[in-house]
Amino acid sequence: MAYINLNADNFNAHMKEEGLVILDFWAPWCGPCKMFGPTFEAASEKHADIVFGKINTEDERDLAAHFNIRSIPTLIAIKDGIMVFNQAGAMMAAQFEQLIQGLRELDMDKVRADIASQQE
Q: Which residues are catalytic?
A: 30, 33
- For residue 55, give the nearest of 74, 70, 71, 38 by alpha carbon: 74
Distance CA 58, CA 13 (A): 21
What is the Cα–Cα distance from 101 to 120, expressed in whole angstroms?
31
| 73 cis-preceded (ω within 30 degrees of 0) | yes
3-state secondary structure of 95: helix
